[in-house]
Amino acid sequence: MSWTLAAQQLVNALALGGIYALIAVGYTMVYGVLKLINFAHGEIFMVGAFVGVLAMGAGAGFLTALGLACAAAAVLGVVVDRVAYQPLRSAPRLAPLITAIGMSIFLQNLAMLVWGSGRRPFPDVTPTFEVRLSQGPADPSKLWDGVAAGLGLVKDGRLDDAKFLGEYGASKRNVEAARAQTPAPKDLPLLEQRFAEAKAKIPRIEQVDRMQDGVRVVFRTGTEYGPANTLLRDLRKHVLREAGLRPNEVDWDQKKLEGAFDRKLVDREGFKIPWKLPLIWGVTVGLMLLLELLVRKTRVGRAMRAVSLDQNTAALMGVSVNGIIRLTFVIGSVMAAVGGMLYALYLGGEVVFNMGTQVGIIAFSAAVLGGIGNIRGAALGGLLLGMTMQLSTGLLLPFLGVEAVYGPAAAFLVLMTVILVKPTGLLGSTSVERA
């Protein structure tokens, strides 16, 4: 076992553990206030992931998609409480528990009906594509003439705007080559004007940056690697044919076509940290700190703790019990939506109608491991359970010669061991009421 592999699995484990911690907090907050296990929380996580991924696929930025996912999850959380739980506030404890399971199944099947049963990939964020000239053509004007003709076809509607990308990129790089040979090409102002016109005609392009020997085209958010790669392969043939260039004169660097969050912050042999991992760490720690500050230091937090201890007394003291419960559902649902977006980003896909079942069970187990009803315990339990699963799958089990598919079993073995030793969980209190 190499130290490089161990370090790689450790950074991945921290990210996965942080995601489970975000989801586990939702379970523990609702239980802390209502003494109810919201088994529909996994489906709220699923809906948040779906809304965010679909919004990005439609061209929304990451932050915009994250906001839409949080809003959708918050509304759904309030609706679930109002429809399934509020009418049963005074009912026996078993009734809302059964309702929670029924709501989970209903939302799962509703998602399959609305979005289908297929898996949705996480859209690439501002993917880039670089085109470089291997060697300047003998007559640079040929390339520009081909692009000018392509502009006419785009304007007349006889050439799809996306198919024009190849000529556009190659000609831009040819301008760089011409500029290197001639300090001030006399046709440069005209070319710049035509390039601006071309960019306006191609909505898929977010921006175009000059390089020393070529051009970098930045696609709009939601452009996926597979379709873009196929498009560029077809464009290469078109450009070479129309511009009269030989294949070895243009280098289509398709390896640069990647999402912004997949680019490497650290890239050494056997050890890589893409930008998405620090993003997950930062968001997880930031949200946990904000939640802790809200619960411990604000008036709303005191009201939440009062409702958790005694709803009747809190109501007599002027606290809106139903309002606090709805706010608790909103906060937990927002945390689940953020977790859903980060989970899809971490895996690069796996957004499917039944994703909330497995992840929900793991997150609920994490809340139990840390101490159900304790926010800090849920964060700790999610971190430990996620790290145990990742390290078992990526390191321990392969080292022992056991198939990695048994990683979750190893994590739940740790859970059962902790519960046998300390039934209330790591940070749980013996005064916590059990359902």
Q: Which CATH class is domain 3-122+268-421?
A: mainly alpha
> What per-residue confidence (pLDDT) applies to 397?
83
> What per-residue confidence (pLDDT) applies to 5?
81
Q: 236-263 burial, b for 16+ CB within 10 Å, e for fewer?
A: bebbbebbebeeebbbbebeebbbbbbe
> What per-residue confidence (pLDDT) applies to 93?
82
Roughly how many angstroms between the first and final C-alpha of the chain, as a whole number?
44
Express as a percent the part of the chain with pLDDT over 90.
Answer: 37
Q: What is the pLDDT of residues 290-308, one digit of tens each?
A: 999 999 999 999 999 999 8
Q: What is the pLDDT of residues 218-276, one digit of tens each?
A: 766 666 666 666 655 655 565 556 555 555 555 555 545 566 677 777 877 778 888 88
> What per-residue confidence (pLDDT) applies to 28?
92
Least confident of 15-19, 191-195, 307-311: 191-195
Q: What is the mean pLDDT of residues 410-433?
A: 80
Mean pLDDT for all residues in the chain: 78
Structural domain boundaries in the chain: 3-122+268-421, 128-258
370 burial type by CB count under 10 A (0-12 exposed, 13-18 middle, 19+ buried)? buried
CA separation for the pair 303, 319 (Å, rounded): 7
- Strands 250-253, 205-210: pairing is unpaired
Q: How far is CA 383 from the centre of its chain?
A: 18
Q: What is the pLDDT of residues 2-50, one digit of tens each?
A: 778 888 888 989 999 999 999 999 999 999 888 888 999 999 999 999 9
Q: What is the mean pLDDT of residues 392-407?
A: 81
Phi-psi region of 401 (alpha: psi -120 to 50; beta: other; left: phi over 0): left
Q: What is the pLDDT of residues 63-75, one digit of tens each?
A: 999 999 999 999 9
> What per-residue confidence (pLDDT) applies to 6?
84
Q: Is the pLDDT of residue 435 over 70?
A: no
Q: Is the pLDDT of residue 402 over 70?
A: yes
Least confident of 13-27, 51-65, 96-110: 51-65
| Tally of CB atoms within 10 A around 412 | 16
Closest by CA to 215, choosing from 250, 163, 263, is: 250
Q: What is the mean pLDDT of residues 297-323?
A: 91
> What per-residue confidence (pLDDT) applies to 434?
42
Bridge partners (DSSP) listed for residue 128: 218
408 burial type by CB count under 10 A (0-12 exposed, 13-18 middle, 19+ buried)? middle
Bridge partners (DSSP) listed for residue 120: 351
Q: How far is CA 102 from the centre of its chain?
A: 28
